[in-house]
Structure 1
Amino acid sequence: MKKLINDAENATGESLAGFCAAHSDIVRMGEHAPFVQRRQFKSGKVALVSGGGSGHEPLHTGFVGHGMLDAACPGQVFTSPTPDLILAAAEAADTGAGVLFIVKNYEGDVMNFDMAREMSGKSIATVITDDDVAVETSTFSTGRRGVAGTLIVEKMVGAAAEAGRDLAELKVLGDRVNAATRSIGIALTSCTVPAAGRPTFDIAEDEMEVGVGIHGEPGHRRMKLRPAAEIAAEMVSAITSDLGGRTRGEAILLINGFGATPLSELYLMYDAVRRLLESAGSMVTRSLVGNFVTSLDMAGCSVTVSMLDEEMKRLWDAPVHTSALRWGI
């Protein structure tokens, strides 16, 4: 294992300190616990809080700021944040209008965010993201996993919160955006968790894993490596089959890297996927390409499609100012 770390046990905390120092104009560390919060909270606004295991950066800390999250709770690598940490973030972010948790559908995350909600006594609602079409149940989840589509939920709900929507409205919106969003991922390599010191799974040079999650867990099947156009066709087929008749209309296309795939390859995949979606009746009118929901140093990518209506387009286009996403400001 070759990694730029001092000690595996302290790597997450040291990385978090560096992140907050590098983006001190946008975020700061929580005063009493190691979570990330907006530099300035907006009084009277519903607070958006998310989080999960580290190793997926820039998710979620990179999405804290104007137009997205008010606080993010990073656990250790691929490990849910504790209820105490989530509670501290919720209490810091709440300015009186309530709190919305945005939680990926992994058992540890769902359980710990639910415990924090019960402990708080505050007005808290929860949106569970479950956009992964690859598997219904996996090593880490019961039901579909929440993966890169979580970014789209956080962006749209964040814009609505910034505009003054109340907690009940944001909960309905978050569920609606999640229901319009589908993802699937493929991996060419495993990833290496620093504390483990070796790849999570073994895979041959001429193999690929289809339907992987974002914790380094294997997919639903392994196959021989194919040309990118064939890989794209399989991913698009899985998404469009799941969406059914909803594929006809405007859509966001997100090609997300898992941490070790060059942008040149991600854009190549974008070209292939876009052509296939448009052949299926989708009009890609919003796009995002890059490493946004990663799995440490895994090579591979995911495809996310989110079907749009006029309101969702306005919310996607609304100004955002975070370390990882920035436009309109």
Structure 2
Amino acid sequence: MKKLINSVDTVVADALAGMAAAHPDALRVDLDKHIVYRARAKEQGRVAIVSGGGSGHEPLHGGFVGPGMLDAACAGEIFTSPVPDQIIAATTAVDRGAGVLHLVKNYTGDVMNFEMAAEIAAGSGIEVATVVTNDDVAVEDSLYTAGRRGVGVTVLAEKIAGAAAEQGRPLAEVAEIATRVNANGRSMGMALTSCTVPANGKPSFDLPDDEMEIGIGIHGEPGRHREKIAPASEIAGRLVEPILAELPAGDGHGVIAFLNGMGASPLIELYVMYHEVAELLAARGVGIERRLVGNYITSLDMAGCSLTLLRADDEMLRLWDAPVNTPGLRWGA
């Protein structure tokens, strides 16, 4: 194992210290509790949004803290849920009197710990709404979940709900928009290699050089099936077809197409994949309204990609286009 780290025991703390040093004007990082906050809090009377999860998926979630997206992100250890104390501290700190939305990926530990934190926060007078993302069509249940995993739609929900909160919309409306994004988005991923968790020191699963894994999870979980490596045009089909089979009907609306790198695939390969995806969608009569290509929800050093398609109505597109200014996503600001 070759990693740019000091120690396997301090990876998360050292990385958070690096975020604080790299973005001193944008972020405030609680290095004791492992929470990333905006440097400047929202004004009173605005809904705040808190998300979080295991580290190793950067820039998710801390890289999406800032105007137009999250108010705070709780960083667990690598591939491990943040604990309730972190989530309570973040929720209390960012509440501006209009309530707090928790955006949670559907992994058992995340759901349980955010649920506990929401109950405690409610007991102290903070109104909390929770939306759980579960967009991965590759599985119904896995080692980490009951039901489908929450993956790429999480980024889109953080952006779209974040824009709604920035506009001053009430908590129920912000939560409804996030729920609608989740209901209309589907994802699937693939891997050319496994990832290596520093504490383990070896790949999470063995994958021969001439094979690929279809339907992987972001915690290094093996996928639906394994097959021989194929050209990008064929790999794109392995992702597009299962997603389209479960994507809600369009009613005249196109999609936001999000081609995400898993951490180790260079951008040149992601653009090759995106071109193939765009060709397949055009052939199926699916219009692409907006596009996002790059590393946004990763799995350490895994080579591969995921595809998320969101059937986006006019309101979602307006909120997607709204200004955002975070370390990991920025436009119009």
Q: Is the 8 A contact 2:213 2:227 kept in 1?
A: yes
Which residue number in structure 2 is paired with residue 59 of structure 1? 60
Instruction: Give the CA deviation at 1:248.
Output: 5.7
Which residue number in structure 1 is paired with residue 156 of structure 2? 152
* 1:226-278 C-alpha deviation (Å, 9 max, x unpaired): 11101101211001111153386321111100000010000000000011112
Structure 2 CA distance, aligned partners of 1:248 and 1:267? 27
**Which moved further from structure 2: 240-249 or 178-187?**
240-249
Instruction: Give the CA deviation at 1:44.
Output: 1.4
Which residue number in structure 2 is paired with residue 27 of structure 1? 27
Q: Is the 8 A contact 2:248 2:311 kept in 1?
A: no
Q: Is 2:263 the counterpart of 1:262?
A: no
Equivalent residue of 1:255, what SS? strand
Structure 2 CA distance, aligned partners of 1:170 and 1:20? 28
Instruction: Give the CA deviation at 1:34.
Output: 2.0
Please report the RMSD computed on the Cα atoms of aligned residues, expressed in angstroms.
1.1
Q: Is the 8 A contact 1:183 1:305 kept in 2?
A: yes
* 1:116-170 C-alpha deviation (Å, 9 max, x unpaired): 1112222100010011111010111111100011000000000000000111111
Which of 96, 103, 125 lines up with 2:129 in the alignment?
125
Q: Is the 8 A contact 2:16 2:31 kept in 1?
A: no
Instruction: Give the 3 Å change call, closer, same or farther, for CA 31–233 of structure 1 in structure 2.
Output: closer
**Which moved further from structure 2: 29-38 or 71-80?**
29-38
Q: Is 2:319 the counterpart of 1:315?
A: yes
Which of 188, 192, 196 lines up with 1:184 in the alignment?
188
| Amino acid of the structure 1 residue aligned with 2:220 | G
Instruction: Give the 3 Å change call, closer, same or farther, for CA 270–200 of structure 1 in structure 2.
Output: same
Structure 1 CA distance, aligned partners of 2:232 and 2:282? 17
Q: Percent identity?
A: 58
Structure 2 CA distance, aligned partners of 1:155 and 1:301? 20
Q: Is the 8 A contact 1:247 1:282 kept in 2?
A: no
Which residue number in structure 2 is paired with residue 271 of structure 1? 275
Which of 157, 172, 178 lines up with 1:168 in the alignment?
172
Structure 2 CA distance, aligned partners of 1:314 and 1:243? 21
| Amino acid of the structure 2 residue aligned with 1:176 | R
Structure 2 CA distance, aligned partners of 1:248 and 1:233? 23
Equivalent residue of 2:247, what SS? helix
Instruction: Give the 3 Å change call, closer, same or farther, for CA 174–244 of structure 1 in structure 2.
Output: closer
Which residue number in structure 2 is paired with residue 242 of structure 1? 246
| Amino acid of the structure 2 residue aligned with 1:108 | G
**Which moved further from structure 2: 157-166 or 219-228?**
219-228
Q: Is the 8 A contact 1:187 1:209 kept in 2?
A: yes
| Amino acid of the structure 1 residue aligned with 2:321 | D
Q: Is 2:304 the counterpart of 1:300?
A: yes
| Amino acid of the structure 1 residue aligned with 2:168 | G
* 1:153-189 C-alpha deviation (Å, 9 max, x unpaired): 0000000000001111111111001111111000000
Which residue number in structure 1 is paired with residue 12 of structure 2? 12
Which residue number in structure 2 is paired with residue 40 of structure 1? 40
Which residue number in structure 1 is paired with residue 139 of structure 2? 135
Instruction: Give the CA deviation at 1:309.
Output: 1.0
Instruction: Give the 3 Å change call, closer, same or farther, for CA 260–32 of structure 1 in structure 2.
Output: closer
* 1:286-323 C-alpha deviation (Å, 9 max, x unpaired): 11100000000000000011111111110000000000
* Unaligned runs of at least 5 residues, structure 2: none
TM-score by length of 1: 0.98
Instruction: Give the CA deviation at 1:31.
Output: 7.8
| Amino acid of the structure 1 residue aligned with 2:45 | G
| Amino acid of the structure 2 residue aligned with 1:27 | L
Count of aligned pairs:
329
Structure 2 CA distance, aligned partners of 1:291 and 1:31? 25
